[in-house]
Amino acid sequence: MLRDLVESGSRIWWCPTAEFTLLPLHAAGPYKKKRHNLSHFYISSYIPTLAELIRARQQVSRDAAVQHFVAIGQANPDGAKALRCVAAELSVVAQCLAPVLSFTPPTLSFAQLAGNDATVRGVFDALSQNQWLHLACHGMPNRKQPFESSFAMHDGLITISSIVRSRWQNPEFAFLSACHTTVGDESSPDEAIHLAAAMQFSGFRSVIGSMWSVDDNVAAQITSAFYNNLVDGSGRLDCTRAAVALHKAVKTLRKEIPLEQRIVFVHIGV
């Protein structure tokens, strides 16, 4: 039915409600030999509300001479277990962005924040100066009090409450390489109150988040494949290409990563 209405290869946006918010709709399919799944035909994104998609589309990217990117990693957060692959993941991001960083005159600035410097205040200061974000850390959902869902930093937690109160300048894209960043309120699934939605509500036009726990090694693999597909020869990063880049990344890794981990990351926004 959908294929009769929407051309194959098109992008589609899911705006699920109720229990459908818990399902990986982008991965729907029979998963049988000689049968195609939804991802064979369409490039999926999600939206918390239709109004947010309209806002993100109407928000025009500021044509600054230099784009600003920060990669933030917290492998040893306060009160949580250590993450093994954060440093390697940040290195992967830097390597993938190297072709853009080599342009003369410069078109992209790149900064890293990690370890003892990746504090709550340090992250907010970095986000006040950068429009592109890669964040590798613990995601800590709170199903009972969703506004207390958080990212774990060196000295404490960055909660949804603090994110939605922030006013960052022209944020463009955030890759949330953390667990459960699209997990919301268990009693009100219709309300899109989760970490990824909070980033979009705070102004980010394009966000990548996760539906459940992410293996450290898988996060690094998908990160590498994603940025290799996002970066082109233009010397500029374009957040409207993020959904396609994630779609291609997952396809290239389909034989290397188990299905449950291959479909954990989803795109939200434009």
230-239 pLDDT per residue, tens = 999 899 999 9
Mean pLDDT, residues 205-222: 94
Task: Please state, in angstroms and as integers, the Cα–Cα distance from residue 30 to each residue in 39, 59, 211, following that order.
Answer: 11, 38, 20
Nearest to 221 by CA among 192, 244, 255, 194: 255
CA distance 9 to 229: 17
Angle (CA) 64 240 98, round 5°? 60
The contacts of residue 228 (CB under 8 Å, 6+ apart) are: 96, 249
Whether 64 has a pLDDT exceeding 90, the answer reads: no
94-149 pLDDT per residue, tens = 999 999 999 988 999 999 999 999 999 999 999 999 999 999 999 999 888 889 99
Mean pLDDT, residues 217-226: 95
Reply yes or no: is the peptide bond before residue 106 cis, omega within 30 of 0. no
Q: Mapping DSSP to helix (H, G, I), strand (E, B) and coil, where does residue 254 land?
A: coil
Whether 190 has a pLDDT exceeding 80, the answer reads: no
Q: Mapping DSSP to helix (H, G, I), strand (E, B) and coil, where does residue 250 land?
A: helix
Whole-number mean pLDDT of the chain? 91
Higher local confidence (pLDDT), 50 or 240: 240
Whether 188 has a pLDDT exceeding 70, the answer reads: no
CA distance 3 to 80: 46
Higher local confidence (pLDDT), 201 or 56: 201
Mean pLDDT, residues 40-52: 91
